[in-house]
Amino acid sequence: MDEFIAQLPKAELHLHIEGTLEPELAFELAEKNQVTLPFKSVDDMRAAYNFSDLQSFLDLYYASISVVQTEEDFHDLTLAYLKKAAAQNVRHTEIFFDPQSHTARDIPFGTVINGITAALQEAQTELGVSSKLILSFLRHLSEESALETFQQALPFREQFIGVGLDSSEQGHPPSKFVNVFDEARREGFRVVCHAGEEGPPEYITEALDLLHAERIDHGVRCMEDAALVARLAEEQIPLTVCPLSNVRLRVFKTMSEHTLKRMLDAGLLVTVNSDDPPYFGGYVNENYEAIQKAFDLSRDDLVKLARNSFTASFLSDEEKQKLIGELPES
Ligand code: ADE
Ligand code: ZN
């Protein structure tokens, strides 16, 4: 089955570029940029990836990104991910970036997005992986900060297609960001939102009704609300689920307790993604492998998940059909 998963064409729709920093590259950049990491070695850093909840991960995620500083660094970080993705038969990716975690360190918005964009273009021509970029606002910061960030982003509007919302979920509901999402929609951007990861099902409803999210990132806690599940199934709202992330951040104790199979059985448009791969122990194929083993998924189930990943993407209908046409009959 692992071989079947490896050769399956797929899209990855929930991936934070800051969360793809491998410890080896972190140490290389720390030396180059004269930053001291709070770890003695690569092994030490990896050993620290033992999280009690979302916040304990985010603390390390924001601290580690301090080593990424120049346009070249953002390029190298992005290209390293895209090479991994290409090797796993990822044909298309929709990548989040968190500009506020860089502008807060006095790195200009343009440095970040130009470095990332250069790598995306290289991957398209040299690796055959297409990508889109989604600007994600940090929900633990104010809406004012998000509005300011959106203004900084507008001169680069051709380089990203949508906006999202991530970081510490509890206590920072989607309703806090209605104005900035209204503005982004008015400007023609696509809208997604992290909701129902650690936060309650009500945050998913808010993301849909107040932010007009077209896709929910995570969304696993929808299973606590039968009416919400019925709605998500009826409207075929895509959910970008990240199984290894959910177990590592203790949303579920073990993979067999994950709701993914029940979500599929409820007719939800579920996709499988890696979130922040080195932190959670695997890229997209390792996520497929983990759920295949936990739920004894069939080839049909796996093909369905891969098909969902293209269906749920922001590709054109024509592009989606072309990629879906490359899936095995199963
Ligand atoms: N930023 C990076 N990964 C995240 C996650 N899983 N949830 C919220 N914010 C994030
Ligand atoms: Zn995420």
Name the residue with the closest Cα to ligand 1, atom 4: 167
0.95 surpassed by pTM:
yes
Name the residue with the closest Cα to ligand 1, atom 8: 167
Q: What's the confidence (pLDDT) of residue 329?
A: 84
Name the residue with the closest Cα to ligand 1, atom 1: 167
d(CA 178, CA 310): 28
Ligand 1 lined by 172 (C-beta under 6 Å)? no
C-alpha distances out from residue 25 to 22, 41, 65, 122, 243, Å: 5, 12, 11, 19, 25
Q: What's the confidence (pLDDT) of residue 117?
A: 98
Ligand 1 lined by 166 (C-beta under 6 Å)? yes
Q: What's the confidence (pLDDT) of residue 43?
A: 97
Asked if 278 and 23 count as a contact pair (C-beta separation under 8 A), the reply is yes
Q: Which residues contact 94 (CB under 8 A, 6 or more apart)?
A: 11, 12, 13, 14, 15, 131, 132, 133, 134, 161, 162, 313, 314
Mutate to test the pocket of ligand 1, among 102, 166, 197, 287 (most ligand atoms within 8 A of CB): 166
d(CA 198, CA 195): 8
Mutate to test the pocket of ligand 1, among 57, 170, 193, 287 (most ligand atoms within 8 A of CB): 57
Name the residue with the closest Cα to ligand 1, atom 10: 167
How many Cα atoms are found within 13 Å in the side-chain-facing hemisphere of 121?
A: 9
Which atom belonging to ligand 1 lies closest to the Cα atom of 249?
A: 6
Show me where the domains of the chain are located. Answer: 2-323
Name the residue with the closest Cα to ligand 1, atom 9: 167
Classify domain 2-323 by CATH architecture: Alpha-Beta Barrel (3.20)
Ligand 1 lined by 19 (C-beta under 6 Å)? yes
- Cα(329) to ligand 2 centroid in Å equals 31
The residues carrying an active-site annotation are 197
- Cα(167) to ligand 1 centroid in Å equals 5
Ligand 1 lined by 276 (C-beta under 6 Å)? yes
Q: What is the chain's pLDDT, residue by residue, as a tens digit (330 residues)?
A: 999 999 999 999 999 999 999 999 999 999 999 999 999 999 999 999 999 999 999 999 999 999 999 999 999 999 999 999 999 999 999 999 999 999 999 999 999 999 999 999 999 999 999 999 999 999 999 999 999 999 999 999 999 999 999 999 999 999 999 999 999 999 999 999 999 999 999 999 999 999 999 999 999 999 999 999 999 999 999 999 999 999 999 999 999 999 999 999 999 999 999 999 999 999 999 999 999 999 999 999 999 999 999 999 999 999 999 999 999 986
Ligand 1 lined by 217 (C-beta under 6 Å)? no
Task: Give CA torsion, residues 140, 141, 147, 148, to 10 deg.
Answer: -150
Q: What's the confidence (pLDDT) of residue 254?
A: 98
Ion ligand 2 neighbours, Cβ < 5 Å: 275
